[in-house]
Amino acid sequence: MWKMKKPKSVVLLLIMVFTVSIFMLSGCGGGSTAEEASTWTLVNPEGVQLIEPIELNEHPSSLEGKTVALRWNGKENGNLFLDSVAEQLQKSIKDINIIKLYETMPETNDYGPSKMGPDIIDKVAALEPDLIISSQAD
């Protein structure tokens, strides 16, 4: 048969169980009583975005005689990549006009939605490029 060696600890344990039970039944434990209705708000953590189709511009069949703007976002070595792109375009395509925005318009050498405001976009559009090649350099 089982013998209780420490009756004080058993009594203390029973008192704690009784206290917790009363606490939970009284609604003090964060739960609600039978009379109170619980309201839950379901939040979807997926971050689903509505994507609407956009109409793309036609790609030119040739870059001969066209103006190409090169845009760098300011991250390391992106300008070196674009310098190489400019060199290759000038070697392979006759009569191409290259505009290095990172040299002529340094205010375009940044990234993020707040950095390329409408005024900068309008300045670039005023150059009337047929194509813009951008280096992310990430």
Delineate the domains of the chain, giving CATH numbers in brackets: 67-135 (3.40.50)
Backbone angles phi, psi at 20, to 5 degrees: -65, -40
For residue 83, what are the CA distances in angstroms to 16, 67, 70, 76?
76, 16, 9, 13
Return d(Cα 7, Cα 12) in angstroms, integer. Answer: 9
Model confidence, pTM: 0.58
> 11-54 pLDDT, tens per residue?
666 677 667 666 666 555 555 556 678 888 888 788 778 889 98
